[in-house]
Amino acid sequence: QKEVEQNSGPLSVPEGAIASLNCTYSDRGSQSFFWYRQYSGKSPELIMSIYSNGDKEDGRFTAQLNKASQYVSLLIRDSQPSDSATYLCASSGGGADGLTFGKGTHLIIQP
Amino acid sequence: DAGVIQSPRHEVTEMGQEVTLRCKPISGHNSLFWYRQTMMRGLELLIYFNNNVPIDDSGMPEDRFSAKMPNASFSTLKIQPSEPRDSAVYFCASSRQGSSANEKLFFGSGTQLSVL
């Protein structure tokens, strides 16, 4: 069974620091990886996608993928209180497959 | 675009009653997904459709759950009869699927279901 594992947190980070979120996945056939942000009472919204080993940067966000270790991470630089949310890691086998989500990490940015 | 539209936003019902959740995907998207979210189990994929055809319903918990997609702009998820353990947030999501890597999912606002 495909599984995506995340530390549930809460992860507390001071404002302006780097927040580091991690996830591992069980299915070696997974090809696509995503990070979603979910505010309390809201729906998940996509913030990053990554398909190849290495780093991918978008503004303050950097996604990292290591397929050999089956490991995905998300770095948030210059953390802001508005970054406080639950971050969901997801994987997919590609094609028309659905996404498998982790349970999420609750991130708190302390002003 | 209005995004993925779900109704109702909140549903409170009594055990044994039939519940129908509705979803209108983003125009032009050819894949539709139904997810359920609880604190204990997180986001679980229940079923997904590609070009209105159910592809994988292995996540549907029991025969009490059924889903249909009669056309490209409408889908329903029905629970009959409902039970208290069905209480959760149900999300519908859509995407534009190609032949390569999975396209990103756009989620609706969800339906908060409470079965008393």
What is the rounded distance in angstroms from the CA atom of residue B107 to the CA atom of residue B69?
Answer: 17
Is the minimum CB–CB distance between B100 and chain A shorter than 8 Å? yes
Q: Please, which pLDDT band fits residue A6 given cuts at 50, 70 and 90?
A: very high
List, for residues B38-91, the tens digit of each pLDDT value: 999 999 999 999 999 998 888 898 899 999 999 999 999 999 999 999 999 999
Question: In A, residues 57-96, which contact B (CB 8 Å cutoff)?
Answer: 88, 92-96
Residue type, B34: W
Say yes or no for a CB contact (<8 Å) between A43 and B45.
no
Chain A environment of B9 (Cβ under 8 Å): none
Residue B23: is its pLDDT beyond 50? yes
Say yes or no for a CB contact (<8 Å) between A99 and B102.
yes
List, for residues A80-98, the tens digit of each pLDDT value: 999 999 999 999 876 556 7
Mean pLDDT on A16-42: 94
Is the minimum CB–CB distance between B34 and chain A shorter than 8 Å? no
What is the rounded distance in angstroms from the CA atom of residue B83 to the CA atom of residue B16?
Answer: 6
What is the rounded distance in angstroms from the CA atom of residue B108 to the CA atom of residue A58?
Answer: 24
Of A42, A43, A94, the CB nearest to B102: A94
